[in-house]
């Protein structure tokens, strides 16, 4: 089991580096490639990979210090991945204090059998130093933001950004919350039957859940005997794995049976399937996404959840939407920097720069403009992101309202988040450290009726 787990983790981390994909995709791709299905191996590899990637900046800095005058980037992807995983497992996981020489020797043996003796011999001599050197010197002479970045495992630019936006104390609380795995939430699918009956079936499947009181059908998963995606209840479409914040976005839209709704950037299907549920499968939903691969996932989810009113349309919302319809409601959840999901997808924080925020805001602006064109007078436009930045949220909505005076912000129900920044109190924000979910932003805008 251990060899399979380490093989999985090394290969998955290498794929992440090579193809710039996230942890989930890399693990799925690697497990299929290596034909590994052992549940224990998959679980161990999952933890090892995620926790290593989460702390990547400090781990890399430590390795490069020990390797001097060489650098980590001079070695093959396999060796780079192994060294990162090795430092996490032998040092970081033990809070840098306890040294287990036997474990380190066993891991080195596994690495030789996976990567080959010749491949590993170039770094064999540094494994002992990696096991015993202190990380303390890495923090000397650094600015407050740089030190905070290393201690909370975030890029320095992001720490500076958060300090400026939220203040030091609030920012620190949020950054530290990103080190914990957030709870898993599910949304019970009442298109498949009575809520209480579904809850009984979940219990039979070994799922212990707790109601999120402010939301209609959301539950926090307290424990599960098996991987929840492998349960009978999941396969029968009795629930959807959906973050609390995402559930709020659908409920904030407050769709009614019989409405015509455009779901823009719809894949992989969380919004479409929840909107259809709230509409009791009556009305019409047109779901847009540019990615054929993601829309194939959407199709599978729509079938699994017994949604009958959704039509898929492959289209890039940066261009005018190819449909001659004025909708009662347009729901837009555009691509974003995902700065609210760093706890769940740690690799996202290492792919971004300050410039990423500006680039993403421009894409979001184009999509918002194109979405607004399809809202009928008296209709609703709902905009949401899983980002905590002001540029992608309040500043974008401010700009939109300035250019489109026919739209006005309206109150969002239920109120489970905090008011938006920059005086936009009708918007809602959710934060990992306050709401136990992804960082999230929602704005709901009404279009005035014709005179």
Positions annotated as catalytic residues are 386
Q: Which residues contact 333 (CB under 8 A, 6 or more apart)?
A: 249, 264, 265, 271, 383, 384, 385
Residue 417, C-beta contacts closer than 8 angstroms, at least 6 positions apart: 248, 428, 429, 430, 435, 440, 442
Contact present, 336 and 391 (Cβ < 8 Å): no
Helix (H) or strand (E) holding 336: none
Burial label for 166, CB within 10 Å (0-12, 13-18, 19+), is middle
Distance between CA 363 and CA 367 in Å, rounded? 6
Please give the structure tokens belonging to residue 259: 């409405």
Q: At what angle do helices 23-34 and 39-54 cross, to 10 degrees?
A: 140
Q: Is the peptide bond before 328 cis (omega within 30 degrees of 0)?
A: no
Q: Give the Cα separation of 269 and 275 in Å (integer).
A: 10
The residues facing 430 across adjacent strands are 440
**What six digits make up the tokens of 330?**
């347009």
């Amino acid at each position: 089991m251990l060899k399979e787990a380490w093989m999985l983790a090394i290969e998955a981390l290498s794929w992440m580096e090579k193809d710039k994909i996230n942890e989930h995709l890399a693990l799925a791709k690697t497990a299929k490639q290596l034909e590994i299905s052992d549940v224990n191996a998959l679980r161990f590899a999952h933890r090892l990979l995620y926790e290593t990637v989460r702390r990547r900046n400090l781990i890399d800095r430590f390795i490069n210090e020990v390797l001097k005058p060489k650098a980590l980037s001079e070695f093959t992807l396999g060796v780079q991945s192994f060294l990162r995983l090795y430092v996490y497992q032998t040092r970081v996981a033990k809070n840098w204090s306890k040294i287990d020489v036997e474990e380190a020797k066993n891991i080195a043996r596994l690495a030789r059998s996976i990567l080959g003796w010749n491949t590993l011999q170039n770094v064999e001599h540094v494994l002992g130093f990696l096991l015993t050197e202190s990380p303390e010197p890495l923090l000397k002479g650094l600015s407050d933001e740089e030190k905070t970045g290393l201690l909370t495992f975030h890029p320095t630019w992001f720490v500076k950004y958060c300090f400026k936006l939220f203040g030091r104390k609030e920012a620190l609380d949020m950054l530290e919350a990103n080190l914990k795995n957030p709870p898993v939430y599910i949304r019970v699918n009442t298109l498949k039957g009575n809520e209480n009956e579904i809850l009984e079936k979940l219990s039979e499947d070994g799922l212990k859940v707790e109601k999120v009181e402010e939301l209609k059908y959301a539950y926090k998963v307290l424990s599960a005997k098996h991987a929840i995606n492998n349960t009978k209840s999941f396969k029968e479409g009795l629930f959807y794995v959906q973050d609390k914040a995402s559930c709020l976005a659908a409920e904030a839209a407050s769709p009614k049976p019989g409405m015509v709704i455009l779901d823009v950037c719809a894949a992989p299907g969380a919004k479409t399937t929840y909107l259809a549920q709230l509409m009791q499968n009556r009305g019409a939903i047109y779901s847009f996404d540019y990615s054929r691969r993601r829309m194939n996932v959407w199709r599978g989810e729509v079938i699994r959840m017994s949604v009958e009113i959704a039509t898929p349309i492959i289209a890039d919302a940066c261009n005018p939407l190819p449909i001659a319809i004025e909708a009662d409601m347009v729901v837009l959840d555009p691509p974003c920097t995902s700065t609210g999901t760093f706890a769940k997808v740690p690799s996202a924080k290492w792919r971004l720069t300050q410039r990423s925020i500006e680039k993403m805001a421009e894409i979001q602006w184009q999509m918002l403009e194109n979405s607004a064109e399809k809202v009928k007078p008296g209709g609703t436009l709902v905009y949401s992101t899983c980002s905590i930045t002001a540029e992608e949220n309040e500043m974008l909505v401010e700009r939109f309202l300035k250019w489109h005076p026919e739209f006005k912000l309206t109150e969002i129900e239920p109120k489970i988040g905090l008011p938006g920044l920059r005086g936009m109190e009708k918007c809602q924000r959710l934060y990992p450290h306050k709401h136990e979910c992804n960082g999230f932003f929602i704005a709901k805008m009404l279009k005035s009726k014709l005179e």
